[in-house]
Structure formats: structure tokens, C-alpha cells
Structure 1
């Protein structure tokens, strides 16, 4: 009898998280995207009060894990789904999932507003984040140690930078990991020798570095990101287990509508349409 009760309790634990959100479309994942996702949800629920949406962050990896575990309807991700994640989704739900690009972004490196450095090459940024460059004077700045800030490893932005800037190598062990882009920006704003990274929409109270490419110094501007000229341009994604239907489809349709894409610009990112 005790074993039966324990088994029933385990089943209930698995069912309750989903049942608790009955009638509500859950959207979870990327901290880069959470403000945008919340704005979309707020505006759509104003227009259609019968639709209930719950948008939370936690990181792209957390959102994709929730999608695989069946505890969210939509995962927000600032990086493409990994092959290993797609395999887990296929094993559990016999589906490869649905990927929808909903906005564009350029991963931006921030420094303190007092820092005289305005632009760095990709190799210089790589050297800083690998720990090979440790003093600002090595890249034309003051004689001061570089204080490196990074996102935690569940972050899609962390993975994007590791793959696209560090070529898969590990971050320097001296990097201080912080739980969200807002925390990175706040730290850099307070630390005059700091450097951090995140989505373009968060760069408030800090200076955005331009990326040197040949004779150009490219800012993470709308023009450079839309064209892909900015070296760290990327898409922002929604992932679902299957093709969207019902209220989930209404939410995605709104995000991709002219009104939804106008909100992308207002928040500080760049439209896909």
C-alpha cells in the first residue's frame, strides 16, 4: 500500500505543474527576450482578455528544458536549439519541434561610460574573454586590470558568445557570472574597468563597444544587424513542440504582426519583418 501511495504521489507531482496552468499559455526561457515577451503578452491580453499568457525568464536553456519536459508551451531562446535538445524532444514527444524567428538582435559588449575605449576587434574581445588579455592598456585603454562579466551557462547569450566569439573554448576562470543581462549592465555601470555583454536593448547607462572589422568600426545598429554586417548578429526564437494552435498561435501571430514587430523596435531589438 505504501508503495502504491508513493507511486500515486509521484504521478501527481508530474501532473500538477501542467494542471496549475490550465487555460494559460506558458512562455519561458531567454532573459534577453523576457521583456519583449512580456510586452507582447500584455498588449495581446489587453486586446483579447480571454487569452491568458504567462511569460517568465530563466535563460534559453531553462526554457528549452521546460519545453522538453512538457512544462511550458513556448520556449524563448536567443540561440538555436542544440542537436542534443532536439533529440530529447524527439525521444519524448516524437517530434522535432517548431522553430519560429520572432526578432533580431546583436550581442553587444558594454563598458563603463568613463572608459575611453570605443571599439575592439573580435580577436581582442576573444583575448579578454579567454583571459589572454587582462589589462586595458593592451587594447589602448588605461593601465588597469579588466574586470570581466559574463552570463551563466544556462543563458543562450553565453552559449552564442562561446560558439561565435570563443570558437567553443572556455571562458576565463576570472569571469564573474551574473544571472541576467540587467545584472551585467548594472555591474558594468558601477565598475569603471568592467566589460560585459548582452542584448542591445539592455544597454542603458553603459557604453556600447563597436566591433572593428577591417577599416570599419561597426555599431550594433538596426542597419548593421538587419543586414548581418554586424559580426555578432543573431535571431531570437520561439520553440514549440508542434505547430502552434489556439491561443499559442494567436500569441505568435501577434508577435509577428506589424503591431508586434513595432513593439520589437520600441523595446530595443530589431524586427524580422
Structure 2
């Protein structure tokens, strides 16, 4: 079997046919992408009122399973299809075709004063700060930072069930989005509240979509244990160097036609990419 490659441009799509437009496009899959796709569907619908795009939130696994079962038109996934999923589709006479539409990147933020002493962390340390609680003071995080031994880390978070960013962040740290944050975390409504809280708390640490970072806070460089930390940027995400990122795909059964074809074309065009960026994702260009 050849090496799997995603489709990343409209040249992998079927020609447009205006006569096929009066239909419904049903979509299900990864929470990390569903909210942004819902926003893109609203913009798309303004220009194509004859097409109804319905988006459900679940998981990459469920979305691909429903696509293979022919229950939906498009699946959203925060990973490439697995060999088992490709084989299941082939058994039904289908070919799973993935289109890379954006990147999901999360920045870990601290107060500017704290950044002078702690500018980089490992992903393993982040798990011990946000999840297990084994690291709970700034001196534990960076013994050479000059922080007092009892200077506590205040974790700011928002509920995974209500935030695709929170679910993605936990999944990137632990492999399971349902894993709870450390019991001492200050839980706020959403990522904008996390940003505002960290901006006024020198002891605070939190997470926000990369494109939401503003001058009130600083984003930490992140690396794997023992590796050189990488500062978050659109370039380091697209180059796959920054670790807190994922590639986000829309999958089809073979070459899409009709309304599904039109919608994927929209996602890959400048207006669609700009819409995904406004929703907090890193666009392809």
C-alpha cells in the first residue's frame, strides 16, 4: 500500500455543476473542527442559500465511522484515517479521501512579568501542571527562574464539554479529551476569560487559540522533554515543529460531487480559510 497523502487543494475536487446544488450536506466529527466548520457553513450559506449544511459535534472516530456507513456526507477529523478505517471503507467499495483544511494550534500563556523568568516548558511539564498537579509551584517548573519556592501556579481553564480548544488541549497532553483538569484549576467560562485572567495574574497560566494571543500576555515556547522548545507561530505550526498542534481534515467517500464539492472548495479558498482563521484555527496559507 502506498504512503497516505492528504488532498490539500481544490484540484482534488470534482468540477462544479450548478444543477446539483439543491441538497443537504450532513457533517459529523471532531469537536476541534466542528465549531469552526459551523461558522464557515454560515458564511457559505449566505452565498449559497439553496444548500443546507448541517454540522454535528462528536469525535474523529464517530465521524469517520458514520461516513463509512454512508450516514453523512463529510467527516471531520483531527487525525489522518487509520489503516483499519481505510480498510473498512475499502470493504464497502469506498475510498476515504482526506482534505487538509486547517491546523489546530494552542498557545500556553503567562503574564508578561512571569515570562521574564519562565519562557519555555516541555509538553510533559504541562501535563504535570494542568492535569496531574505534580508541578504546582513556579520553582518546580523552572528551578533557575528565581521564583520563591512557595510561589504557586494558578491554572486557568474552561470546561472541555463546552470548549473545543479545552478538549483539544487536554487530548494533546493526555490522549483523551475527557481527562479532567487539576482539581485546583480556576474554571472560567471560555478562552477569552482565560486570557483576561492570566493578563492580570502574575501567577497564572492558561491556554488559548494561537491566533487569540494579544499583547496582554506572552506565549511560552513548548517542546518535548529533552528537545529544544519551539515558539508558537503560524509558520512553526504549518511546518509541524510546534508540538501543541494538529492537522484538521474533512474526509469524503471518493471525489465529492454536488453540494459537498462546493462546500469543500469554499473551505480551501481564501474566504473559507479566512473564516476558519476567525474561528481560531491556523489557515493553510
**TM-score w.r.t. length of structure 1:** 0.66
**3-state SS in 2 of match to 1:100:** strand
Whole-Å separation in 2 of the counterparts to 1:195 and 1:160: 17
Shift of the 45–89 alpha-carbon distance from structure 1 to 2, 3 Å rule, reads same
Whole-Å separation in 2 of the counterparts to 1:88 and 1:198: 36
How far has the Cα of 1:64 moved from its partner?
A: 3.0
Q: Residue in 2 aligned with 1:225?
A: 237
Whole-Å separation in 1 of the counterparts to 2:49 and 2:89: 32
The structure in which a higher percent of residues are helix is: 1
Whole-Å separation in 2 of the counterparts to 1:270 and 1:176: 31
Q: Residue in 2 aligned with 1:109?
A: 108
Q: Residue in 2 aligned with 1:245?
A: 257
Whole-Å separation in 1 of the counterparts to 2:256 and 2:273: 19
Is residue 2:153 matched to residue 1:135?
A: no
Shift of the 257–188 alpha-carbon distance from structure 1 to 2, 3 Å rule, reads closer
Q: Residue in 2 aligned with 1:36?
A: 36
Shift of the 126–156 alpha-carbon distance from structure 1 to 2, 3 Å rule, reads closer
Whole-Å separation in 2 of the counterparts to 1:243 and 1:71: 17
**3-state SS in 1 of match to 2:28:** strand
Q: Residue in 1 aligned with 2:15?
A: none
Shift of the 74–113 alpha-carbon distance from structure 1 to 2, 3 Å rule, reads farther
RMSD of the alignment, in Å? Answer: 4.3
Shift of the 233–147 alpha-carbon distance from structure 1 to 2, 3 Å rule, reads closer
Q: Structure 2 stretches of 5 or more lacking a match?
A: 1-21
Contact 1:255 1:261 in 2 (8 A): yes
Contact 2:105 2:246 in 1 (8 A): yes
**3-state SS in 2 of match to 1:107:** strand
How far has the Cα of 1:131 moved from its partner?
A: 4.9
Q: For 2:152, which of 144, 156, 171 is the aligned residue?
A: 144
Contact 2:222 2:243 in 1 (8 A): no
What does 1:45-56 correspond to in 2, within 5 Å? Answer: 45-56=45-56
Shift of the 174–158 alpha-carbon distance from structure 1 to 2, 3 Å rule, reads closer
Q: Residue in 2 aligned with 1:200?
A: 210
Q: Residue in 2 aligned with 1:209?
A: 219
Q: Residue in 2 aligned with 1:25?
A: 25
**TM-score w.r.t. length of structure 2:** 0.64
Contact 2:23 2:259 in 1 (8 A): no
Deviations along 1:18-45, one digit per CA (max 9) or x if unpaired, are xxxx931012223322332123212222
Contact 2:64 2:85 in 1 (8 A): yes
Whole-Å separation in 1 of the counterparts to 2:108 and 2:209: 9
Q: Structure 1 stretches of 5 or more lacking a match?
A: 1-21
Q: Residue in 2 aligned with 1:16?
A: none
Deviations along 1:24-79, one digit per CA (max 9) or x if unpaired, are 10122233223321232122221121111112323434433433443322122222
Q: Residue in 1 aligned with 2:3?
A: none
